[in-house]
């Protein structure tokens, strides 16, 4: 770290765990999660806010990790992909949306997947039974080069019909 | 709404049931969930930038802001003085670490212009925007980037070659001062009596076509991490690549270290699509810096760099003629292809060569000739992206056939079916050779059936009525169709090693490279089919040169065919060996034994068994104790499937679009894709390949344009300017498979990764033209933007 670099202390809850740390003022939230907290599930795809790979939830709302400074998350509750399998067990332990992604072959290289999972998590919380159009609208904030989106749509709709703890 | 129903129609394999009711496990051909997925879904993937290293350094590259300039002076002093900067390398400094400052040529060529490859760092001249000139290595990436801003460079701008037509002008500037001319190579491909065919032809039609394909744009860019071990004088390099072994050989040559001391590992790769099938200057510079500085060095490309320094496909101009008889039967095709190669040629001429030799595609063409001019321009270098020249060639051929149909008033489907290679003519000699001189033989397929299936699915017969009804309501529908064939499975070989450990772990190592397709799952399925184990018992390692000495990697839709066949051969050998040893250890004849869940057991009495681990322990040897008679050491086998033949995958696509003549907006209403990729290892993953391939093609047809101005300055440097397709532009894609086993390999498969992309642009463009037929708009280019469509409608209205 450059000795001259401006630092600031922040406190935030990431996936339910509170962290108080000194961070560079200029570091963005995605880099902070990846480098300082070693939560490398959040990926950086374009660093200009278009591809959506770095999407995380900040106080329950989706945000581009590359367009938000870590210091702006001071006092916030941040959720990343690493939180989605919480409470599941085994080598294939996956949350319901993740399991639907596996069932429907909704990922190939997997690089864009964590950001998409977070946006869909937000969607399914707000709207537990979205239709295809609503899913595609949310997905339009994400770029995926592998899947052509079709199986992601299918996975989201599958997860929607079986919400966690639901019927 | 049935839009989420998987659309594949596949033959599920018949299972073999033995006397006691146990059904041998079938893995080949099943929709097995991927073994890669759980880790990736939990955020536990390990991509290049996720690898942690003690005491790492971070690199950033200074890149040319000029398309062409002389470097008068470069001053590194201020950058070197910045606290946290460990080293700054310019060309001179990096040259001291290398055997050559110039990158090696990917594919050998006797005819290509000499001294045409990129520099590791450019020295006295820069030839495209994005060319690396200097490398800063610092304690953090942020500091490294701060230091870039402190490097002072005096440039003397030079005249620019911004387009390949201009490159050919008399008096045009030369792309680089060391280049003999802007033409990297001229070549001609063809067969038959072209002049005679045209001289006697009842009809000849000409087209001038422009086909642009953008860049690969995997969601993960490039990245390199290198760690040098001074005790062993050995270097380990992690890189997001499609070809670990070739990168290893390049580093070995460039750093002057024997391959024994160079290990290249591809971690999880976040997509490739062609742009990682190359040894890049950064893949040499980073290990050189790590060795020089004695600390690990990492470089992770950002998207802004990717736009200008990872390869593109870009521009091709085709001037082509087709000769036909009154029924539309093709008599000959000829023309000239002008190909934009960019400022350097890192790999060779494979992209224009593929394009020129794949025009005839699935059709019978008695005479063919294409003159190819490979032009250098002051733009980012070019190598193949998914499809590798075939999409451009398909665009050319399909546009010609649409023209023939229109001129002779023949139905577009009829003109195609009259010219498709008939199934009874298979195998069919295309009359051409590939770039390595091997004859192109189409191994099989039923092209007429593929097309008729597509027409049935899209209700081709009912379309005129739909179009009429829509027009009556002021809506403009169009239907398009196109055929394609892709020579997949390029040789000469791929490697696979299957090894069972004394603890019973089964490892599969291959030189093939996973970059997202589900290769590990596909290979595990092929192995599990023979070894009768669940997939999670097989541990697949791809692209680690320390684990397997030979390998080719991921390109040309080859890996399921080539690595799959190697895995099959190795698995059969392991299986037979296990049964042979089991026979001796259990005293039960081989044909009364079976493999099951990691054991060799008696069919009659499954309590009589020996585990694969037990067999491996026996075969690892104990000092002085003999192995079972006739058995060689080790429960492992190597498969090196070798072939020069290519399995030809084919497809027919059909789509229905609606065009708004007021805005130029194109909406794809339906998209049907019928594919024959031979036997399918995993139909679900095969569908995924087709979906992704088609959406890449939709990008090429409607959205993706890597734009440059007349000074060869890029004008599309972000995803806000360079548009990738998103979920709201994409229709539900209906995929149908026909499975014609390929005779070219022991498992009957054909490649699948690129076939989906190839016919898309001509299918969509044909549909748009059809929708706009009231205006008689003629489309001779791809991509077509709404603005461009409005221009064409306006021009057509004015005449």
Nearest CA in chain B to A158: B4
pLDDT of residue B110: 85
Q: How far is A118 from chain B (nearest CA, A)?
A: 11
How confident is the model over B577-587, as a mean pLDDT? 97
Out of A44, A84, A147, the one facing B692 most closely (by C-beta) is A147
Contact criterion met (CB < 8 Å) for B38 and A92: yes
pLDDT of residue A167: 39
**pLDDT over 90 at B648, yes or no:** yes
Please count the helices (runs of H) and the strands (runs of E) in chain B.
20, 29
CA distance to B251, B259, B309, per residue, from B282 (Å):
11, 19, 10
Residues of B in contact with A119 (CB under 8 A): none
B142 touching A, CB under 8 A?
yes
| Best of B1, B30, B45, B219 to mutate (most A CBs within 10 Å, chain A) | B219
Q: pTM (2 decimals)?
A: 0.96
pLDDT of residue B19: 67
The strands making up A77-79's β-sheet, listed across from edge to edge, are A17-24, A7-14, A77-79, A55-58, A61-64
Q: Tell me B520's DSSP state.
A: H
Nearest CA in chain B to A141: B726
Q: How far is A50 from chain B (nearest CA, A)?
A: 6
pLDDT of residue B109: 85
CA distance to A45, A163, B383, B440, B592, per residue, from B437 (Å):
40, 58, 20, 9, 48
Out of A101, A109, A149, the one facing B218 most closely (by C-beta) is A109
B731 touching A, CB under 8 A?
no
In the three-class reduction of DSSP (H, G, I as helix; E, B as strand; rest coil), residue B90 is classed as coil
B385 and B273 Cβ atoms separated by less than 8 Å: yes
pLDDT of residue B14: 45
Contact criterion met (CB < 8 Å) for A105 and B685: yes
Q: Tell me B700's DSSP state.
A: I
Contact criterion met (CB < 8 Å) for A102 and B38: yes
User: Angle at Cα B398 formed by Cα B395 and Cα B401, nearest 5°?
Assistant: 150
Write the CATH number of the domain with boundaries A85-160. Answer: 1.10.150.120
B301 touching A, CB under 8 A?
no
pLDDT of residue B5: 32
Beta-strand relationship, B428-433 and B368-375? unpaired
B680 touching A, CB under 8 A?
no
| Best of A82, A109, A143, A155 to mutate (most B CBs within 10 Å, chain B) | A109
Nearest to B577 by CA among B628, B542, B647: B628
How confident is the model over B117-124, as a mean pLDDT? 96
Ranges A155-159, B3-7, B729-733, B750-754: which has the least confidence: B3-7
B697 and B761 Cβ atoms separated by less than 8 Å: yes
- How large is the ipTM? 0.96
Work out the pLDDT band at A161, boundaries 50, 70, 90.
confident
How confident is the model over B188-199, as a mean pLDDT? 97
pLDDT of residue B21: 76
Nearest CA in chain A to B49: A40
Residues of A in contact with B691 (CB under 8 A): 147-151
Contact criterion met (CB < 8 Å) for B518 and A46: no
Contact criterion met (CB < 8 Å) for B3 and A132: yes
Q: How far is B39 from chain A (nearest CA, A)?
A: 8
Q: Where are the domains of chain A?
A: 7-83, 85-160
Restricting to B residues 8-47, those with a Cβ less than 8 Å away from any Cβ of A are: 33-34, 36-38, 40-47
In the three-class reduction of DSSP (H, G, I as helix; E, B as strand; rest coil), residue A102 is classed as helix
How confident is the model over B205-212, as a mean pLDDT? 98
Nearest CA in chain A to B34: A102
Q: Tell me A34's DSSP state.
A: I
pLDDT of residue B108: 82
Q: How far is B717 from chain A (nearest CA, A)?
A: 11
| Best of A118, A145, A153 to mutate (most B CBs within 10 Å, chain B) | A145
Q: How far is A154 from chain B (nearest CA, A)?
A: 5
Ranges A23-32, A120-129, B282-291, B437-446: which has the least confidence: B437-446
Q: Which CATH class is domain A7-83?
A: alpha beta
pLDDT in tens, A27-53: 999 999 999 999 999 999 999 999 999
pLDDT of residue B161: 98
Ranges B396-405, B431-440, B462-471: which has the least confidence: B431-440
In whole angstroms, what is the distance from residue B479 CA to residue B402 CA? 12
Residues of B in contact with A129 (CB under 8 A): none
B152 touching A, CB under 8 A?
no
A21 and A44 Cβ atoms separated by less than 8 Å: no
Residues of B in contact with A135 (CB under 8 A): 727
- Measure CA B307 to chain center: 18
In whole angstroms, what is the distance from residue B416 CA to residue B439 CA? 25
In whole angstroms, what is the distance from residue B769 CA to residue B459 CA? 19
Nearest CA in chain B to A2: B84
In whole angstroms, what is the distance from residue B143 CA to residue B141 CA? 5
In whole angstroms, what is the distance from residue B68 CA to residue B66 CA? 5
How confident is the model over B121-142, as a mean pLDDT? 97
B667 touching A, CB under 8 A?
no
**pLDDT over 90 at B9, yes or no:** no
pLDDT in tens, A127-152: 999 999 999 999 999 999 999 999 99
pLDDT of residue B13: 44
CB pairs under 8 A between A and B: 201
């Amino acid at each position: 770290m450059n000795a001259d670099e401006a630092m600031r202390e922040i406190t935030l809850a990431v996936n339910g765990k509170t962290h108080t740390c000194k961070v560079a003022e200029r570091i963005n939230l995605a880099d902070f999660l990846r480098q300082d907290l070693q939560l490398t599930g959040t990926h950086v795809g374009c660093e200009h806010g278009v591809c959506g790979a770095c999407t995380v939830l900040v106080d329950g709302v989706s945000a581009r990790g590359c367009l938000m400074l870590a210091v702006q998350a001071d006092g916030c509750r941040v959720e990343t992909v690493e939180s989605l399998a919480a409470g599941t067990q085994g080598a294939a332990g996956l949350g319901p949306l993740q399991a639907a992604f596996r069932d429907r072959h909704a990922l190939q290289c997997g690089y864009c997947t964590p950001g998409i999972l977070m946006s869909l998590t937000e969607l399914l919380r707000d709207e537990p039974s979205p239709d295809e159009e609503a899913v595609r609208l949310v997905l339009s904030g994400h770029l995926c080069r592998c899947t052509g989106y079709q199986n992601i749509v299918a996975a989201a709709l599958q997860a929607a019909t079986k919400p966690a703890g639901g019927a | 709404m049935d839009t989420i129903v998987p659309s594949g129609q596949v033959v599920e394999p018949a299972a073999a049931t033995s006397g006691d009711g146990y059904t041998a496990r079938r893995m080949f051909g099943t929709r097995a969930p991927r073994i890669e997925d759980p880790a990736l879904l939990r955020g536990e993937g390990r991509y290049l930038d996720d690898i942690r290293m003690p005491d790492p350094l971070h690199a950033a590259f200074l890149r040319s802001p000029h398309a062409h300039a002389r470097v008068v002076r470069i001053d590194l002093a201020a950058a070197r003085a910045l606290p946290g900067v460990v080293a700054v390398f310019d060309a001179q400094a990096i040259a001291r670490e290398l055997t050559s400052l110039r990158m090696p040529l990917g594919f050998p060529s006797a005819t290509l212009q000499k001294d045409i490859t990129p520099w590791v760092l450019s020295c006295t001249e820069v030839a495209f925007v994005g060319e690396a000139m200097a490398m800063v290595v610092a304690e953090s990436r942020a500091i490294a980037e701060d230091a870039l801003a402190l490097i002072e460079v005096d440039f003397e701008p030079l005249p620019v070659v911004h387009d390949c037509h201009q490159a050919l002008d008399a008096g045009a500037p030369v792309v680089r001062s060391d280049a003999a001319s802007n033409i990297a190579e001229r070549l001609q491909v063809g067969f038959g009596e072209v002049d005679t065919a045209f001289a006697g032809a009842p009809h000849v039609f000409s087209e001038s076509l422009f086909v642009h394909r953008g860049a690969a744009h995997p969601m993960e860019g490039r990245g390199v991490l290198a760690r040098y071990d001074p005790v062993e004088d050995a270097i380990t390099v992690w890189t997001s690549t499609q070809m670990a072994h070739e990168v290893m050989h390049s580093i070995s040559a460039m750093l002057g270290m024997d391959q024994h001391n160079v290990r290249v590992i591809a971690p999880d790769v976040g997509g490739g699509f062609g742009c990682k099938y190359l040894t890049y200057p950064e893949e040499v510079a980073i290990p050189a810096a790590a060795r020089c500085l004695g600390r690990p060095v990492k470089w992770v490309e950002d998207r802004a760099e990717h736009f200008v320094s990872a390869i593109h496909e870009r521009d091709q101009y085709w001037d082509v003629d087709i000769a036909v008889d009154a029924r539309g039967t093709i008599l000959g095709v000829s023309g000239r292809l002008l190909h934009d190669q960019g400022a350097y040629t890192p790999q060779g001429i494979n992209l224009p060569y593929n394009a020129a030799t794949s025009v005839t595609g699935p059709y019978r063409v008695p005479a063919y000739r294409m003159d190819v001019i490979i032009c250098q321009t002051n733009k980012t270098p070019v190598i193949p992206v998914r499809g590798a020249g075939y999409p451009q060639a398909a665009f050319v051929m399909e546009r010609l056939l649409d023209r023939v149909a229109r001129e002779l008033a023949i139905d577009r489907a009829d003109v195609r079916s009259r010219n498709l290679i008939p199934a009874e003519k298979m195998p069919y000699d295309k009359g051409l050779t590939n770039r390595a001189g091997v004859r192109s033989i189409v191994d099989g397929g039923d092209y007429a059936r593929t097309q008729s299936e597509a027409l049935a699915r899209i209700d081709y017969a009912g379309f005129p009525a739909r179009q009429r009804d829509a027009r009556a309501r002021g809506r403009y529908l169009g239907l398009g169709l196109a055929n394609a064939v892709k020579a997949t499975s390029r040789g000469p070989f791929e490697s696979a090693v299957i090894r069972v450990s004394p603890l019973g772990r089964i490892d599969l190592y291959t030189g093939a490279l996973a970059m997202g397709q589900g290769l590990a799952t596909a290979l595990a399925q092929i192995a599990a089919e023979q070894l009768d184990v669940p997939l999670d018992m097989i541990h697949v390692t791809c692209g680690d040169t320390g684990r397997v000495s030979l390998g080719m990697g991921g390109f040309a839709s080859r890996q399921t065919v080539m690595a799959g066949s190697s895995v099959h051969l190795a698995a059969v050998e392991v299986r037979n060996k296990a049964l042979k040893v089991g026979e001796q250890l259990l005293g039960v004849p081989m044909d009364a034994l079976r493999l099951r869940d990691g054991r060799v057991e008696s069919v009659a009495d499954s309590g009589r068994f020996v585990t694969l681990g037990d067999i491996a322990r026996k075969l690892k040897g104990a000092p002085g104790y003999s192995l079972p008679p006739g058995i060689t050491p080790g429960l492992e086998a190597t498969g090196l499937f070798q072939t020069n033949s290519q399995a030809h995958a084919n497809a027919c696509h059909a789509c229905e679009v609606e065009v708004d003549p007021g805005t130029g907006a194109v909406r794809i209403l339906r998209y049907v894709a019928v594919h024959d990729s031979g036997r399918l290892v995993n139909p679900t993953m095969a569908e995924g390949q087709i979906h992704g391939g088609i959406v890449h093609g939709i990008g090429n047809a409607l959205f993706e344009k890597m734009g440059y101005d007349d000074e060869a300055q890029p004008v599309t440097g972000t995803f806000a300017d360079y548009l990738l397709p998103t979920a709201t532009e994409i229709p539900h894609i209906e995929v149908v498979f026909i499975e014609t086993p390929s005779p070219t390999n022991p498992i009957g498969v054909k490649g699948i990764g690129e076939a989906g992309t190839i016919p898309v642009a001509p299918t969509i463009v044909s549909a748009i033209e059809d929708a706009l037929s009231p205006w008689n708009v003629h489309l001779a280019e791809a991509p077509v933007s709404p603005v461009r469509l409005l221009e064409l409608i306006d021009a057509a209205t004015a005449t």
